[in-house]
């Protein structure tokens, strides 16, 4: 489909980024999957070519481009089914916290390294007994002289082992009312005493992504590492940025739909059963038509939200709809496409099997489908 939101410059950038992926990422994907982690050198290579956070101001090492350049990157990463190299999380989820809420000193200290690939970031919200209910976190960051002392545990942290810098949600005033004023965001640098990367977690999918469990034990962080002018702003800061995080997830889901549909259509044209290509069977064609139609519907809705988001509009309700609906439909489409591959769809020699595993988590992270529906219901006055 022709998408009006992209200019010729966006498509030139897409070609350049696609070439980068084909040369620097695709040849190493199997190696990274077996290792369970992506090496640091790919981050540097991406940074050297300006592919990290292209939206970032040139003052801090970026290109000052619009958000659609980031969208292009997310779509192209989905095209090659690459989830271990968490460029979207680093550039479009974590770095915006520092860019939006950091002071000038913090931005100059951290953002250039983030853009160059020398600093890899993560964000720590989830705790072992706290998932989507962020106000229920228990980790504390209590003032002691010129420092905050962090104590607690975080889990399911993407880039958990490789990160150099992590934005941590913690309670700076555990008794404040209302509850949302208890939380603040602090930046913790790797190597800080008491910050422990305990273990890399084994998962159903995303095998090359180093998802980890973290401990903070009497971890002393300078008070100047607080994001924002004052304590108690963490929950509001998270809410402000979750719109973009969920939009990023929806972009990946829709791009994955197109990718697996392309693979499946080609396979159905080449694979024969009972003397003819399986695409010649009415059931196959009708199922493919239904899935292509759903992908078109999701794409049109998503593109409208991208335009609204770039204008600075509050589209939390609509983005919550997109996040839940696009990920759920992607899950269905990937499942149906795998069915058309038959036994080969279950074999790892075909990437559809890996995408099937990787897709499952998209209805969970960034806010589970049920939480999205709860947000939508509240915003609609239900």
Q: How confident is the model at residue 129 (pLDDT cuts 50, 70, 90)?
A: confident
Look at residue 373 and give its three-state secondary structure.
helix
Q: Determine whether 20 is exposed, middle or buried from the number of CB atoms within 10 Å of its CB (0-12, 13-18, 19+).
A: middle
141, 247: one domain: no
Q: How confident is the model at residue 134 (pLDDT cuts 50, 70, 90)?
A: confident
Is there a contact between 281 and 357 (Cβ–Cβ < 8 Å)?
no
What pLDDT is stored for residue 343 in this prediction? 96
The domain that contains 248 carries what CATH number?
1.20.140.10
Residues near 162 by Cβ (< 8 Å), separated by ≥ 6?
37, 38, 40, 120, 210
DSSP annotation of 179 reads G
How far apart, in whole angstroms, are the C-alpha atoms of residue 30 and residue 348? 11
Among candidate residues 177, 200, 232, the one where a domain is terminated: 232
Quick one: residue 366, left, alpha or beta (phi over 0 = left, psi -120 to 50 = alpha)?
A: left
194 lies in the same domain as 314: no
Angle at the Cα of 233 from the Cα atoms of 229 and 235, rounded to 5 degrees? 155
Distance of alpha carbon 58 from its chain centroid, rounded? 23
Residues 93 and 23 in one domain: yes
Q: Does residue 226 register a pLDDT over 80?
A: yes
DSSP 7-70: -HHHHHHHHHHHHHHHHHTGGGHHHHHHHTS--HHHHHHHHHTT-S-TTS-GGGTS----HHHH
CATH number at residue 55: 1.10.540.10
**Out of 73, 213, 245, 318, which one is annotated catalytic?**
245
Distance between CA 117 and CA 378 in Å, rounded? 40
Boundary (domain end) residue, out of 201, 232, 263: 232
The domain of 109 spans 8-119
> Is position 252 within any domain?
yes
- Domain shared by 312 and 357, yes or no: yes
> Residue 151's pLDDT is what?
98
Distance CA 160, CA 156 (A): 8
CA of 185: how far to CAs of 125, 155, 207, 302, 305, in Å?
Answer: 10, 16, 29, 30, 27
pLDDT at 132 over 80: no
74 pLDDT band (50/70/90 cuts)? very high
pLDDT of residue 61: 96
| Tens digits of residue pLDDT in 248-284 | 999 999 999 999 999 999 999 999 999 999 999 999 9
What pLDDT score was predicted for residue 2? 76
Say if residue 89 is in the same domain as residue 127. Answer: no
Q: What pLDDT digit, counting tens, does each position of 292-318 carry?
A: 999 999 999 999 999 999 999 999 999
Average confidence score pLDDT of the chain = 96
Average pLDDT, stretch 115-142? 91
Q: Is residue 175 domain-resident?
A: yes
Exposure b/e, 113-143, CB count within 10 A at least 16 = b:
bbbbbebbbbbbbbbeebbbebeebebbbee
The CB density around residue 186, as the number of other CB atoms within 10 Å, is: 24
Q: Is the pLDDT of residue 229 over 80?
A: yes
Residues 248 and 373 in one domain: yes
CA R_g for the chain: 21
| For range 338-351, the mean pLDDT | 96
Q: Give 321's pLDDT tier (boundaries 50, 70, 90).
A: very high
In a domain, 283, yes or no: yes
| Furthest CA-CA distance within the chain | 79
Is pLDDT of 133 > 90? no
Rounded mean pLDDT, 327-351: 97
pLDDT at 199 over 80: yes
> Does the pLDDT of residue 180 top 80, yes or no?
yes
Does 245 participate in catalysis according to the annotation? yes
Look at residue 252 in the predicted model and tell me its pLDDT.
Answer: 98
Instruction: Look up residue 233 and give its two tokens.
Output: 């702003």
Last residue of a domain, one of 97, 119, 141: 119
């Amino acid at each position: 489909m022709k998408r009006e939101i992209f200019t010729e410059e966006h498509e030139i950038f897409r070609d350049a980024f696609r070439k980068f992926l084909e040369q620097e990422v695709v040849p190493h994907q199997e190696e990274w999957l077996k290792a369970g982690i992506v090496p640091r050198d790919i981050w540097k290579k991406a940074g050297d070519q300006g592919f990290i956070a292209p939206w970032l101001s040139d003052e801090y090492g970026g290109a000052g481009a619009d958000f659609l350049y980031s969208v292009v990157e997310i779509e192209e990463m989905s095209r090659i089914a690459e989830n271990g190299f968490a460029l979207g999380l680093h550039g479009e989820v974590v770095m915006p916290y520092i860019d939006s809420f950091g002071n000038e000193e913090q931005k100059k200290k951290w953002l250039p390294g983030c853009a160059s690939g020398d600093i890899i970031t993560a964000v720590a919200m989830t705790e072992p007994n706290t998932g989507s209910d962020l106000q229920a976190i228990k980790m504390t960051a209590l003032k002691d002289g010129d420092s905050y002392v962090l104590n607690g545990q975080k889990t399911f942290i993407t880039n958990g082992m490789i990160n150099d810098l992590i934005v941590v949600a913690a309670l700076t005033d555990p008794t404040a009312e209302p509850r949302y004023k208890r939380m603040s965001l602090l930046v913790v640098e790797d190597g800080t005493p008491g910050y422990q990367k305990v273990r890399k977690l084994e998962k159903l999918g995303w095998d090359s992504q180093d998802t980890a469990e973290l401990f903070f034990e009497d971890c002393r962080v300078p008070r100047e590492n607080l994001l924002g002018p004052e304590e108690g702003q963490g929950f509001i800061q998270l809410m402000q940025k979750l719109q973009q995080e969920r939009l990023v997830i929806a972009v990946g889901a829709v791009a994955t739909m197109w990718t697996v549909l392309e693979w499946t259509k080609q396979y159905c044209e080449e694979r024969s059963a009972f003397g003819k290509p399986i695409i010649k069977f009415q059931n196959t064609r009708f199922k493919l038509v239904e899935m292509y139609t759903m992908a078109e519907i999701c794409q049109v809705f998503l593109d409208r939200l991208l335009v609204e988001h770039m204008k600075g509009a509050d589209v939390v309700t609509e983005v919550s709809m997109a996040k839940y609906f696009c990920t759920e439909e992607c899950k269905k489409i990937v499942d149906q496409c795998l069915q058309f591959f038959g036994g080969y769809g279950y074999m790892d020699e075909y990437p559809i099997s890996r995408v099937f595993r990787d897709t499952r988590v998209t209805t969970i992270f960034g806010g589970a489908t049920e939480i999205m529906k709860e947000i939508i219901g509240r915003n609609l006055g239900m």
